[in-house]
């Protein structure tokens, strides 16, 4: 076997090995599994991990926008007309958040923390001055007091006298700043003098600036990556007590700030939110891309706030059997000191049409009022999010309060908020670098297969060339040159003379002489 043949066969063997090894590794997903296992070990809530510092102090800026519904026909509404509202906003605040008093527990399998939030007003992103702009809306303290005392005729009689004395009405006009961060309500001030447990200050965001919503204990994900960021207890409880079923009282999922890596499209994302006093869930909607990072969009489906008829699991959220308001609404009075507060998505998005039609000025638009999370499926990192929720008040006839007799039951919109975040450039660059490493390592078998294909091409070229050379050798026929003698020739070559043979200028001359006859 020639050296060339050995080279051809060597290239063929290398090609076969690369192809077999590459395809085998790709089918077995060996390198992808190695990379995923590495991610599972690195994305944990433990000191020194890739994500711990950003979990404690999230780098991307968070913005909170507040939109108010201003009632424009108060007198007509009190006489039975449909309420007419116009939306005013946004009033935008930069939200600073961090986790305080972070403590590792039980061999780093659990971590406790308090979520601190503070707000700074941004005039350049707002429509006006919150200290000046006034909003006419529901007098929530009055309705909270009446709702708590309904049916108690003795106490309601005394409260009616205080309501008249303080000139409290069903609606009030207050500045945006008062409605958000608090004002002294005259009715609450009178009641607090005899009941110290009653706070005379009321505000939709009262005591929520620079404060926390209670201690959270999270699972770190060390034992199981699926438990990364999962809430184990809130305020020392692993189960809520506000609702009427174990399903409704369950504390499940994360707090919305961390999600496990390696997300799948067919899974549900659970989020426990103290603002709603419950766990909600989201489902995959579509693929998106944010700052060059691929992401899955998850959003709450209609079933989250569906009526008990549409979703029997929601029956436990009915305050009583007679207080199930219908699809799209959640009465949160059990965790709001019995105030008739109702939560929904903005403009009653995903709610029954009757709630939209009852208020002139409601126009739900999916792009503007949908809550969603855009999560990178490999790392679980939030690349964009919009949390949107609306605060409403249930207005209805209340026994013991004669002035409410003329009112129709109405879910009146007060305000909706939009809490948004988009990954910053520095964080996006880190995520892109990590994704590039994951892609390259996971694609290593394909690189091997690619090298195998290149070697296959080289093998084919060498094989073709080797075959051509062998065929050319077989076709060669050794024939005499034109000047060679033959048996039929009558001439022979001989030197003419010795002198000519030695002539340095003319060289050696060969003379052609007749061939001698051997028989002569």
Mean pLDDT calculated for residue range 80-96 = 96
pLDDT value at residue 150: 85
Q: Of 407, 409, 495, which Cα lies nearest the Cα of 74?
A: 407
More confident residue, 380 or 447: 380
Q: Sign of torsion, CA 69 75 79 81? A: negative
Phi-psi sector, 9: left (phi>0), alpha (psi -120 to 50), beta: alpha
DSSP state string for 179-237: HHH-EE-HHHHHHHHH-TTS-SEE-TTTT-SSEEEEEEEEE-SSS-GGGTT-EEEETTB
pLDDT value at residue 520: 44
Q: If you ran DSSP here, which 8-state letter would residue 242 be given?
A: S
Q: How far is CA 300 from the centre of its chain?
A: 12
d(CA 199, CA 184): 9
- Condensed to tens digits (0 to 9), the pLDDT of residues 395-437 reads 999 888 988 888 888 999 999 999 999 999 999 999 999 888 8
| Secondary structure element (H or E) that encloses residue 285, with its range | strand 278-290
Q: At what angle do helices 444-475 and 3-28 cross, to 10 degrees?
A: 160
- Condensed to tens digits (0 to 9), the pLDDT of residues 13-22 reads 777 776 666 5
Phi-psi sector, 337: left (phi>0), alpha (psi -120 to 50), beta: left
User: Mean pLDDT over all residues of the chain?
Assistant: 86
pLDDT at position 151 over 70: yes
pLDDT at position 2 over 60: no
Which burial class, exposed, middle or buried, applies to 518 when counting CB atoms under 10 A from its CB (0-12, 13-18, 19+)? exposed
Q: List the chain domain ranges.
A: 60-423
d(CA 81, CA 95): 39
Mean pLDDT calculated for residue range 488-513 = 49
d(CA 82, CA 76): 8
Query: Which single residue is written with the structure tokens 């939109």?
Result: 67
Segment of 31-35, 83-87, 163-167 carrying the highest mean pLDDT:
83-87
What's the pTM? 0.81
The percentage of residues in the chain with a pLDDT greater than 70, rounded to a whole number, is 79
Q: Of 384, 234, 223, 233, which Cα lies nearest the Cα of 297?
A: 384
HEC profile of 322-384: CCCCCCCCEECHHHCCCCCEEEECHHHCCCCHHHHHCCECCCCCHHHHCCEEEECCCCCCEEE
pLDDT at position 31 over 60: no
Query: Which single residue is written with the structure tokens 């999962």?
Result: 230
| Cα separation values, 31 from 233, 437, 449, 461, Å | 37, 12, 14, 32
Q: How far is CA 327 from the centre of its chain?
A: 26
d(CA 333, CA 340): 5
- Condensed to tens digits (0 to 9), the pLDDT of residues 436-456 reads 887 776 655 666 666 666 766
Mean pLDDT calculated for residue range 343-354 = 96
pLDDT value at residue 103: 96
pLDDT at position 98 over 50: yes
């Amino acid at each position: 076997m020639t050296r060339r043949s050995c080279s051809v066969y060597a290239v063929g063997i290398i090609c076969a090995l690369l192809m077999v090894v590459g395809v085998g590794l790709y089918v077995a997903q060996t390198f992808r599994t190695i990379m995923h296992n590495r991610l599972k070990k690195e994305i944990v809530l433990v000191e020194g991990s890739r994500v711990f510092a950003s979990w404690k102090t999230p780098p991307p800026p968070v913005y909170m926008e507040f939109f108010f519904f201003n009632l424009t026909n108060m007198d007509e509404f009190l006489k039975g007309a449909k309420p007419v509202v116009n939306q005013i906003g946004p009033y935008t605040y930069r939200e600073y958040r961090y986790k305080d008093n972070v403590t590792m527990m039980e061999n780093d399998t659990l971590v406790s923390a308090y979520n601190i939030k503070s707000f700074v007003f941004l005039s350049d992103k707002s429509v006006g001055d919150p200290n000046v702009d006034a909003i006419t809306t529901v007098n929530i303290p009055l309705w909270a007091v009446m709702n708590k005392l309904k049916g108690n005729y003795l106490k309601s009689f005394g409260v009616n006298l205080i309501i008249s004395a303080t000139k409290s009405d069903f609606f009030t006009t207050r500045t945006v700043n008062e409605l958000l961060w608090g004002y002294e309500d005259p009715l609450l001030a009178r009641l607090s003098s005899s009941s110290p447990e009653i706070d005379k200050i009321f505000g939709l965001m009262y005591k929520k600036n620079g404060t926390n919503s209670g201690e959270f204990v999270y699972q770190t994900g060390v034992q199981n990556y699926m438990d990364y960021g999962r809430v184990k207890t809130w305020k020392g409880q692993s189960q809520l007590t506000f609702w009427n079923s174990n399903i409704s009282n369950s504390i499940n999922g994360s707090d919305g700030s961390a999600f496990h890596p390696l997300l799948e499209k067919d899974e549900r994302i659970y989020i426990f939110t103290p603002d709603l006093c419950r766990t909600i869930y989201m489902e995959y909607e579509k693929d998106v891309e944010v700052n060059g990072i691929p992401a899955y969009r998850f959003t709450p489906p209609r079933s989250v706030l569906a009526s008990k008829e549409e979703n029997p699991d929601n029956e436990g959220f009915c305050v009583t059997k007679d207080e199930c308001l219908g699809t799209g609404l959640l009465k949160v009075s059990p965790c709001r000191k019995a105030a008739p507060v109702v939560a929904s998505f903005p403009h009653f998005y995903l709610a029954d049409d009757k709630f939209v039609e009852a208020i002139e000025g409601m126009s739900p638009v999916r792009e503007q009022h949908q809550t969603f999370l855009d999560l990178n499926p490999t790392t679980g990192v939030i690349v964009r999010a919009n949390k949107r929720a609306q605060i409403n008040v249930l207005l209805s006839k209340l026994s013991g309060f004669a002035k409410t007799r003329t009112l129709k039951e109405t879910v009146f919109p007060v305000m909706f908020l939009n809490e948004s975040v988009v990954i910053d450039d520095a964080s996006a660059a880190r995520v892109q670098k990590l994704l590039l490493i994951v892609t390259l390592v996971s694609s290593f078998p394909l690189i091997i297969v690619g090298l195998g294909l290149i070697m296959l091409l080289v093998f084919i070229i060498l094989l073709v060339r080797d075959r051509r050379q062998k065929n050319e050798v077989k076709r060669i026929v050794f024939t005499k040159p034109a000047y060679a003698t033959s048996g039929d020739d009558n001439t022979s070559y001989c030197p003419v003379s010795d002198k000519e043979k030695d002539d340095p200028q003319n060289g050696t001359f060969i003379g052609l002489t007749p061939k001698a006859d051997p028989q002569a």
